[in-house]
Structure 1
């Protein structure tokens, strides 16, 4: 009996101790919003200095610091571009924190306190967006350190992209999305992964979530060199009208209208944006480039636990182009640098998007995300790369055309749990994307209007379904492990409309992509990381079907070792050494309707980025990127990768005041690089100087921007191409290029209301 009584006493004691622990374990919860617009702030840092612990806000602007021993704590809340707040928190009262926007201050940048440590680079981009002038969404793409672009079709076609030793063409090895919607087009008429960002109004870009390498579980197809997700603004601080005019008959008008106004519920935001652009460009044959962009967006907090975002946008563009010109034509005086061999190039394109996203916080704090999207895209392009090589009479003009529908759904579930002294953040997701094209065409034409012959014509349907699980285990305040696994299933179908008999072959394939990343916080200002993973990009359906489903999802194997460092409060550094192998793949050449094997490749290099605030108003930035790209199958001296960048650098000085006069002076440099496999033809490098001045008042802003201030001759897009001019008896293989913009000046006036 005494034994039983003693057991009961012990049990009651344990219950008492357990309940006492619960009684004295407290949580701090709250939400952080923009004081001007009411929109939630994702990624704001909440820090308890006395305990040296903290967290960041989630996609609903919410945060929770659990299991605290006490009721009152001093908190510091900060985010780049906002005034830091110090508040007293009571664990029994939810916090409503409203941050005021202010002039950028790098001392507020926190290196190692992100909920998702892979998002540190996003904060770098937030800094760059504040400091660097942008003329188009493609300029924002160039803010990824080491990424360069080149335009070679009159401004209407997607830019050619270069990153980490890749000539990515128009997007084959970088995944590009906008608000979670895909930009890359699979099995596109012009090339696999074609990513045209011209439907995006640059003034509406809030940030770019980007990273390099294949290390991120949520990112699927095309994530080999990296990914970039453009996020548009959820709210406008004020309405505005911008007018621009520049050299070469350049005109632009942008209208951004807050639809709900200041008297509306601060938790609800809606706006409309429009962008009308026209230019003739510096070419002898006017480009007649015109584009119109329209976008409407609603973003609102529903109750206390849901955020609904709905956006609709459309754009259309039409242009003429002078195309790539052979170096010999300029040397001989047949044309000048801005002349044309065939000025019938050009095209038209359009894209319409519908996007619905619902974020919901469950009672246990878990986060559920649902997204539905639909894209309608049309594309038509006329090109002539070889002039009279194939057809000495009519010329080699080609037409590429497609009419595409994309349907998509994304689902993710995120949970955070305590595992003793450790914490685990888990995310499971589902991605579904279905592409259907009608009449995808490659044909030979004469002066656009005369069809000579079809080279390829067919209907494509392609389905990609994926499941993934991503785990972030915070072992201690210093050490974090991120492991993930992704499974992608593909189905490719193609109906060849040039066949006399109907046939609809379908090929399926799948791939598994594991990821394993380590982060170590050596100190509050130093974070060391080691990332590893396998990624892939899909091949064109017109390759997949003839290859009978073999080698259609080539893998990329990558490792990054680097660090984020803040040696001083106003200096931020990122340095990384990296390695990337790409498997054998078959490439569909959209310009010729042929399949070419590209072979196995290897790339490794060094990246360095620096952001420094010299004074309260003066900022310095620098990016240096070195790469050694090589084929793993070619002989030494014949294993160069054509057009792969080897050394690139950008940097500049920027002044930033809340009001008054601001200025920037910037350079961008690309070194010479091989244009063919044996390096007998060189794609010439260049160094350009750009700049600008703005004067900001309470109700208006006036600007003057410059490109290529020194007016140097430079080649933007370059290729080693075999071509034949009309008066030549034989073809010649040499450098062909599109000349880069000469000195260009533009005036702008923006009025706020």
Structure 2
């Protein structure tokens, strides 16, 4: 009997002992903010004991499984000091609030396994260490993306990426806070993307992806996508004034309207730019940007943001000039044949964003947007080829209204064999474009002939779903996207009224595989089917036949961090297109180019020499060919072959900051048999700033510091001058900016 009682006593003591040592694992809810009480998205929350982790959502919220009293949490985000917290009973039973303090970006804080997208994290570091100072620099932050301006500074830049001459946006999707920048069925060309309404200093983050692999990215995502996110709050008010050569002036004002408020924020911005440029005929360029944003937390789980912006721009342009006139000394590189080119454009945007945590595992984000857009452009590419008396000047004009919404639901759950995160979304975009015009004009005043004139209505409805299965080292993400298009075109030049109509759908599967070999090495495989976007006029012209040609792509790559301050990334990729129809807005015709194949290699390197010195560089090598042409006749005109960009940045060293940046675009074919070469270039820019005190900073910058003679954009064009009997086909170019210095004074308060 005594033995039995003793056994019961020992058992009781053992159970009490275990109870004191083992506590039930619990969920932990929390929010991560900065020292301005602003929520931090993407912060990494890691339990050092259970090895569980989570990322914060748009409103800074996180939910972490399997936590016990005494466990240690590590919470970090690039650009903020990492903090550690030992969990108490109160932390687990209530909501945890964590504030992170901002500091200089350090590459050694980048932990590969902690980032949702390492390549996007690297661009975030680039953005912080090399701030954007002009609209021309915005898209250059995307590794491998090359831009070129060729019409007086007001026209959207020409884009090059992954072996594509994207023109002004045909094969890359660009968005700002969920507002599409690309204009479908545009008067000048499909996907025309004028990003000049975005003030650089309002950009919070840049997300990008290359290839057609992303279920959440739709129309125009062939070579890739770029999404910009603007700030919800300014850390300080800013007044900036810049003046430089060629009568270049920029003024900027950014002002908080609500200070020291945790629940809501509001700020406004105004930017004005003018310049004459280096040309013999002044550009007379000016642009005005207005931007306002209000964001508020309705409660801890719900946030709403309202953005209103407007920009207006006008300019004159010297246009592209033929090589023969420069070679024979008739004009110099900055001269003009027809200096009556130019244009004006404006865009107003209204955007309402909403984010909510519906429960511990489900969140929703949505935006509703409206844009009003006006565009008028005068160009003359062939001079007197078509009209020997009046010349060949053309006008392209349109007035557009864009309506749409995006809604996305994110869920997380634990399965018996993996963690599962799903994303599902739907959206709508509707474009109503009146009086889309292509006409033959004289001196920007007289319309000689309407070549095309009509109204376009285009509807795009889409839905997508993707599921990310996290097995620890492996993460597998299948996805599926559905696209529906309705195309309507009314030719107002036709003798009888008729609305041409076509409907098209596409179902596009995607599959991504991520393998985290260890803390230093990460592998990824991306695959998916996309489509080449087409203009409404292409669709109705071909009676809907083959107008959403498929794009098949595969990426295989790795990110390697052998030491704390060094990161390599490499990607080998392949992309096949079934067809590339191009609507040539300058001529009002459709050009099919057949099947194409592109293969390439992307390489990147980041190295932090010290807390103050940061080096980055990216290189791309691409082979782009038409597969239906014989070898030697299969080059894709103007497709980049080799690009090389990078620079060295100095950050906050005894009051000094700045950097030196370089970019290289190699020689490439200007025609299908490479008998004509579009010459490459190597350009170096420099900037240096000195912080006089807490409020005042002086700076200066130099574009093209070595005064290199280069052609920013080039085209093989047939033209005829007024005194010529026969036409000549040769390179026509827009000269790149020569040595150009400017000084800047910034006052923060």
TM-score of Structure 1 vs Structure 2, range by shorter chain? over 0.9
CA–CA distance in 2 between the matches of 1:564 and 1:52?
22
Q: Contact 1:181 / 1:373 at 8 angstroms: preserved in 2?
A: yes
| 1:453 equivalenced with 2:454 (yes/no) | no
Following superposition, the deviation at residue 659 of structure 1 comes to 5.9
Query: Which of 389, 392, 408 is 1:396 aligned to?
Result: 392
The 5 A counterparts of 1:668-707 are 668-696=663-691, 697-707=693-703
Q: Contact 2:532 / 2:580 at 8 angstroms: preserved in 1?
A: no
| 1:716 equivalenced with 2:708 (yes/no) | no
Give the superposed CA RMSD: 1.5
CA–CA distance in 2 between the matches of 1:272 and 1:248?
29
CA–CA distance in 1 between the matches of 2:113 and 2:721?
59
CA–CA distance in 1 between the matches of 2:466 and 2:531?
17
**What secondary structure, in the 3-state scheme, does the structure 2 residue paired with 1:741 have?**
coil
Following superposition, the deviation at residue 370 of structure 1 comes to 2.1
Partner of 2:10: none
Partner of 1:49: 48
Q: Contact 2:171 / 2:533 at 8 angstroms: preserved in 1?
A: no
Partner of 1:86: 84
Partner of 1:107: 108
| 1:444 equivalenced with 2:440 (yes/no) | yes
CA–CA distance in 2 between the matches of 1:551 and 1:659?
61
Following superposition, the deviation at residue 234 of structure 1 comes to 1.1
Partner of 2:239: 241
CA–CA distance in 2 between the matches of 1:460 and 1:190?
14
Query: Which of 724, 727, 734 is 1:731 aligned to?
Result: 727
Partner of 1:152: 150
Following superposition, the deviation at residue 585 of structure 1 comes to 3.2
Following superposition, the deviation at residue 570 of structure 1 comes to 1.1
Q: Contact 1:33 / 1:61 at 8 angstroms: preserved in 2?
A: yes
Q: Contact 1:121 / 1:209 at 8 angstroms: preserved in 2?
A: no
Q: Contact 1:350 / 1:377 at 8 angstroms: preserved in 2?
A: yes
CA–CA distance in 1 between the matches of 2:87 and 2:169?
48
Following superposition, the deviation at residue 39 of structure 1 comes to 1.8
Deviations for 1:226-274, whole angstroms, at most 9, x for unmatched residues?
A: 0000111111001010000010000010000000023xx2231110001
Following superposition, the deviation at residue 544 of structure 1 comes to 0.5
Following superposition, the deviation at residue 317 of structure 1 comes to 0.2
TM-score by length of 2: 0.95
Following superposition, the deviation at residue 138 of structure 1 comes to 3.2
Deviations for 1:496-523, whole angstroms, at most 9, x for unmatched residues?
A: 0001111112100011110001000000
CA–CA distance in 1 between the matches of 2:516 and 2:110?
15
CA–CA distance in 2 between the matches of 1:147 and 1:166?
10
Following superposition, the deviation at residue 85 of structure 1 comes to 1.3
**What secondary structure, in the 3-state scheme, does the structure 2 residue paired with 1:689 have?**
strand
CA–CA distance in 2 between the matches of 1:137 and 1:483?
36
Partner of 2:26: 26
Partner of 1:331: 327
168-177 or 654-663, which deviates more:
654-663
Partner of 1:253: 251
Q: Contact 1:102 / 1:658 at 8 angstroms: preserved in 2?
A: no
CA–CA distance in 2 between the matches of 1:660 and 1:206?
23
Q: Contact 2:123 / 2:142 at 8 angstroms: preserved in 1?
A: yes
Q: Contact 2:475 / 2:513 at 8 angstroms: preserved in 1?
A: yes
Following superposition, the deviation at residue 281 of structure 1 comes to 0.3
Deviations for 1:351-400, whole angstroms, at most 9, x for unmatched residues?
A: 00000011111134300122100000000000000000000100000000
Partner of 2:198: 200
Partner of 2:336: 340
CA–CA distance in 1 between the matches of 2:220 and 2:319?
27
| 1:519 equivalenced with 2:517 (yes/no) | no
Following superposition, the deviation at residue 136 of structure 1 comes to 2.2
Q: Which runs of 5+ in 2 are unaligned?
A: 1-18
Partner of 1:552: 547
CA–CA distance in 2 between the matches of 1:204 and 1:659?
26
**What secondary structure, in the 3-state scheme, does the structure 1 residue paired with 2:150 have?**
coil
Partner of 1:11: none
Partner of 1:322: 318
Partner of 1:500: 495
Following superposition, the deviation at residue 51 of structure 1 comes to 3.5
CA–CA distance in 1 between the matches of 2:275 and 2:268?
24
TM-score by length of 1: 0.95
Deviations for 1:429-458, whole angstroms, at most 9, x for unmatched residues?
A: 101000000000000000000000000000
The 5 A counterparts of 1:220-239 are 220-239=218-237
Following superposition, the deviation at residue 412 of structure 1 comes to 1.2
Query: Which of 461, 473, 477 is 1:478 aligned to?
Result: 473
Query: Which of 660, 663, 678 is 1:665 aligned to?
Result: 660
CA–CA distance in 1 between the matches of 2:135 and 2:604?
22
Query: Which of 290, 301, 305 is 1:309 aligned to?
Result: 305
| 1:627 equivalenced with 2:626 (yes/no) | no
| 1:173 equivalenced with 2:171 (yes/no) | yes
104-113 or 324-333, which deviates more:
104-113
Partner of 1:433: 429
CA–CA distance in 2 between the matches of 1:108 and 1:267?
30
CA–CA distance in 2 between the matches of 1:401 and 1:720?
25
Q: Contact 1:138 / 1:197 at 8 angstroms: preserved in 2?
A: no
CA–CA distance in 1 between the matches of 2:683 and 2:301?
49
Query: Which of 276, 290, 295 is 2:291 aligned to?
Result: 295
CA–CA distance in 2 between the matches of 1:421 and 1:34?
36
CA–CA distance in 2 between the matches of 1:89 and 1:571?
33
**What secondary structure, in the 3-state scheme, does the structure 2 residue paired with 1:711 have?**
coil
**What secondary structure, in the 3-state scheme, does the structure 2 residue paired with 1:489 have?**
strand
Q: Aligned pairs, how many?
A: 727
Partner of 1:586: 581
**What secondary structure, in the 3-state scheme, does the structure 2 residue paired with 1:112 have?**
helix
Following superposition, the deviation at residue 524 of structure 1 comes to 1.4
Q: Contact 2:50 / 2:66 at 8 angstroms: preserved in 1?
A: no
Following superposition, the deviation at residue 207 of structure 1 comes to 1.1
Partner of 2:140: 142
Deviations for 1:115-156, whole angstroms, at most 9, x for unmatched residues?
A: xx3x33221121111122433233120111111000000000
CA–CA distance in 2 between the matches of 1:624 and 1:52?
36
Partner of 1:409: 405
Following superposition, the deviation at residue 689 of structure 1 comes to 1.1
**What secondary structure, in the 3-state scheme, does the structure 1 residue paired with 2:141 have?**
coil
**What secondary structure, in the 3-state scheme, does the structure 1 residue paired with 2:201 have?**
helix
Query: Which of 582, 590, 594 is 1:595 aligned to?
Result: 590
377-386 or 606-615, which deviates more:
606-615
Following superposition, the deviation at residue 732 of structure 1 comes to 0.4
Query: Which of 113, 118, 121 is 1:120 aligned to?
Result: 118
CA–CA distance in 2 between the matches of 1:133 and 1:363?
37
Partner of 2:350: 354
Following superposition, the deviation at residue 711 of structure 1 comes to 0.2
4+ long deviations beyond 3 Å: 50-53
Following superposition, the deviation at residue 23 of structure 1 comes to 7.5
Deviations for 1:277-316, whole angstroms, at most 9, x for unmatched residues?
A: 0000000000000000000001222211101111000000
CA–CA distance in 2 between the matches of 1:628 and 1:578?
11
**What secondary structure, in the 3-state scheme, does the structure 1 residue paired with 2:114 have?**
coil
Q: Contact 1:623 / 1:650 at 8 angstroms: preserved in 2?
A: yes
Q: Contact 2:269 / 2:291 at 8 angstroms: preserved in 1?
A: yes
Partner of 1:59: 58
CA–CA distance in 2 between the matches of 1:658 and 1:433?
47
CA–CA distance in 2 between the matches of 1:128 and 1:363?
35
Following superposition, the deviation at residue 49 of structure 1 comes to 2.6
Partner of 1:14: none
Partner of 2:463: 467
Q: Which runs of 5+ in 1 are unaligned?
A: 1-18
